[in-house]
């Protein structure tokens, strides 16, 4: 990172499944990320929160607001708990990296070494996103398999 003042946009997100499975709420993420920003010397501009929304695509209100603030130069570092809070899509991570690169912004994740400040950080960011996308795809496959089994067993669908 360069020597300019770092203005952080903290991005937090949970989906219902993530919150139940991994046990980290929006409040817990916010608390840890504020402490992370303090340690890094980042000034916090805003906390952007999407609750109960998957990161399988970029159609999230707070996420889009954050990107708007990146593009207009209001923030110059995005801080997230881990990369899968920002995106679980290989396609969307490349779009995000283009936006932040064009704006002179960085990404810095607390728990998985994903960042845009080094070549290794960018590699980690891409790998972590690939793993996250694979998790979504496997979950979708299991759901479809379960629905087929229920239909074959003569159980009515829950839709």
Alpha-carbon gap, residue 105 to 88, rounded angstroms:
20
Condensed to tens digits (0 to 9), the pLDDT of residues 100-118 reads 999 999 999 998 877 888 8
15 in active site? yes
Given 15, 25, 54, 130, the catalytic residue: 15
Give the confidence band of 146 by pLDDT, cuts at 50, 70, 90.
Answer: low
Alpha-carbon gap, residue 59 to 56, rounded angstroms:
9
Alpha-carbon gap, residue 22 to 1, rounded angstroms:
31
Domain spans in the chain, listed from the N-terminal domain onward: 7-152
Strand partners, 78: 9, 107
How many helices, marked H, and strands, marked E, lie in the chain? 6, 4
**CATH assignment of 7-152, among 3.40.50.920, 3.40.50.300, 3.40.50.12780, 3.40.50.1390:** 3.40.50.1390
Over range 69-81, report the average pLDDT.
97
Condensed to tens digits (0 to 9), the pLDDT of residues 16-73 reads 765 646 667 899 999 999 999 999 999 999 999 999 888 888 999 999 999 999 999 9
Write phi, then psi, for 115 (nearest 5 degrees): -165, 170
Alpha-carbon gap, residue 70 to 59, rounded angstroms:
16
Q: Token match 């728990």: residue?
A: 111
Q: Left if phi > 0, otherwise alpha if psi is -120 to 50, otherwise beta: which for 41?
A: left
End-to-end CA distance of the chain: 49
| pLDDT, position 1 | 45
Alpha-carbon gap, residue 131 to 2, rounded angstroms:
30
């Amino acid at each position: 990172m360069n020597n300019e003042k770092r203005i952080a946009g903290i991005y937090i997100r949970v989906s219902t499944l993530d919150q139940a499975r991994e046990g980290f709420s929006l409040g817990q993420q916010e608390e840890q990320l504020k402490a992370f920003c303090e340690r890094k010397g980042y000034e916090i501009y805003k906390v952007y929160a999407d609750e109960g929304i998957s990161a399988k695509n970029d159609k999230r209100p707070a996420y889009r607001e954050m990107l708007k603030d990146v593009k207009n130069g209001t923030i110059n570092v995005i801080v997230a708990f881990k990369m899968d809070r920002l995106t679980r899509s290989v396609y969307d991570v490349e779009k995000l990296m283009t936006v932040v690169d064009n704006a002179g912004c960085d990404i810095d994740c607390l728990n998985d070494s994903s960042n845009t400040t080094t070549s290794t950080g960018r590699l980690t960011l891409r790998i972590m996103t690939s793993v996250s996308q694979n998790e979504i795809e496997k979950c979708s496959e299991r759901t479809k398999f379960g629905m087929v089994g229920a239909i074959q067993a003569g159980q009515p669908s829950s839709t």
